[in-house]
Structure 1
Amino acid sequence: MVDRLRQSVLDGLRRPGDRLDETRLGRELGVSRNTLREAFRVLAHEHLLEHRPHRGVFVRRLGAREARDVYATRRLLECGALREAAVRAAEVAADPVRAQRLHAEWVPVLADVGGAVAAGEEARATGEWEAVGTANGRFHLALARLAGNDVVDRTLRGLLTEMRLLFVDVAGARAVHEPYLEDNARIAALVAAGELVRAAVVLEEYLLRAERHLVGLHASDS
């Protein structure tokens, strides 16, 4: 039930600012009020819904300020993850056993980085812009996994989910996802070549540009 309601929000079927009426929604989904209230609690914890005293539960509406905050946090997490990955690689460079262990850890992660880039290109070729967005999120999550930090992984996953609300509230998945496919490919190539610090610099520039782009889209729609 939580998954169904979450997906309806992320797909834009329930728009930012919409009030979720307990009676009508419970009837629509075939669940009790208690079940629905638990789903509301979970999605409020994920920052997708908000409870307004004496008014009810609403889909969160995010704007330019929230976009700036999310991107600032993403820069700290994602660029920091790549720099931490560079430190990890340097620390084991002189120890063949530890280096081999890190290599084994990174093989599936690097495969996912490259696979996400390929999936984004394939989706662009067929005009499936929501799929481009999904591949883009997969790319960023894979990069962060190089740090080997579960807290970073969980935090970034939550931020990327929250960002879907920012995307839903502006016109067109193509406009928010297509401009960054070449950046993804460039960063993936740097990571594959072991140039992790350089990849972090490029990613930081990319995320700053993406922030300005999304803030501009929200400003034009306001």
Structure 2
Amino acid sequence: MKILGVADSTACFLRHEIITGKIPPGSKLNEVELANRYGVSRPPLREAFRKLEYEKLVNNIPRRGTFVTELSFDDCREVYFTRRTLECAAVDLLAKSGNRDFTKLSESVENLEHFAMPRNSDTTDLADYYGEIAGFHWDLVKDAGNRWLTHCYQSIASTLSRYQLIYLSILSKRSIEDHKIVVECMQEGRFEEAKKQLAEHISRVLNEMLDNI
């Protein structure tokens, strides 16, 4: 088990509250209030701010303070374009690898089929469900075996999570079926079709989200 330092643990708590919307977009982060809430001193809190600034979750404005990054249509389109590019690149790498064992991806789809969709808007339940969905895409990228691709995907993960939690309120079973089709195509060696299905899935998710925000 990895033991997190104070700054890393604080960043985890703060990241969760930002992603789930408990701390809304545009909010100014009060150092004194947050230090008391998390039971930490201000130096590790500021270090946590710096970590989250790297992830584009917060923005430090000189002489004004640190604010939670706003969400926008343009930002959503950009992060989804990046996501589609990286995940399709992962499929290309998997095709070149000659690997046909996608057990982990298949298990991810099966687990999601048996994971109950939250019946209400509780952000914690939605976050847990999102974790199951995101696990499929994370496994796809990691299985590609390119550490720089994984690093790039990690850099957008937190922002992607913020938008995904919005989408979960309108999620249908079709997303699970999309995942299943992508895996079946790769197992059969039809990687171009898998990439096409994956790109269409991500584009559809984006359009449905933008239509319902």
The reply to whether TM is greater than 0.5 is yes
Counterparts in 2 of 1:131 and 1:116: CA distance versus 1, 3 Å = farther
Match of 1:2 in 2: 11
Q: Distance in 2 between matches of 1:147 and 1:167?
A: 23
Counterpart check, 1:43 vs 2:14: no
SS of 1:57's equivalent in the other structure is strand
For the 8 Å contact 1:123–1:131, the answer to whether it is kept is: no
Is the CA contact (8 Å cut-off) linking 2:130 and 2:164 kept in structure 1? no
1-structure distance, mates of 2:77, 2:48: 28
CA distance in 1: counterparts of 2:63 and 2:132, whole angstroms: 40
Figure out how many residues of one structure are paired with residues of the other and give that number. Answer: 199
2:141 aligned partner, one-letter code: A
SS of alignment partner, residue 124 of structure 1: coil
> Given residue 111 of structure 1, which amino acid in structure 2 is its aligned partner?
T
SS at match of 2:24: coil
Q: CA deviation at 1:137?
A: 0.7
- Aligned residue identity for 1:85: L
Partner of 2:67, secondary structure, is strand
TM (norm. structure 1) is: 0.80
How far off its partner does 1:211 sit? 1.6
Letter in 2 for 1:166: Y
Deviation string for 1:128-167 (max 9, x for gaps)?
A: 6443321211111111233210111122133232112224
The secondary structure found in structure 1 opposite 2:66 is: strand
Separation in structure 2 between the aligned mates of residue 163 and residue 217 of structure 1, nearest angstrom: 17
- Within 2, Cα distance between the matches of 1:47 and 1:16? 12
TM-score, normalising length: structure 2? 0.84
Two-structure CA RMSD over aligned residues (Å): 2.1
The structure whose residues are more often helix, as a share, is 1
Contact 1:16 1:165 in 2 (8 A): no
Percentage of pairs with the same residue? 27
> What is the deviation of 1:207?
1.3
Instruction: Measure the CA separation in 2 of the matches of 1:54 and 1:175.
Output: 40
Counterpart-to-counterpart distance in 1, 2:59 and 2:207: 26
| Paired AA for residue 202 in structure 1 | Q
Quick check: 1:113 aligned with 2:105? yes
Point out the structure with max Rg over C-alpha.
1
- Separation in structure 2 between the aligned mates of residue 7 and residue 14 of structure 1, nearest angstrom: 9
- Structure 1 residue corresponding to 2:180, chosen from 171, 176, 185: 185
Q: Distance in 2 between matches of 1:124 and 1:152?
A: 31
Q: 2:129 aligns with which of 129, 132, 140?
A: 132
Give CA deviations for 1:7-48 in whole Å, capped at 9, x if unaligned: 222232212122110111111111111111111000111111
The Cα of 1:178 is off from its aligned counterpart by: 4.8
1:86 aligns with 2:95: yes
Whole-Å separation in 2 of the counterparts to 1:33 and 1:126: 36
* Gapped regions of structure 1 (runs ≥ 5): 90-102
Amino acid at match of 2:212: L
Match for residue 157 of structure 1? Answer: 154
**Cα offset for 1:195?**
1.8
> In structure 2, what is the Cα distance between the partners aligned to 1:43 and 1:20?
12
Distance 2:169 2:179 in 1: 15
Q: CA deviation at 1:204?
A: 1.0
Q: Cα 1:119–1:130, aligned 2, differ >3 Å: closer, same or farther? A: farther
Amino acid at match of 1:114: S
| Residues in 2 aligned to 1:83 and 1:135: alpha-carbon distance in whole angstroms | 24
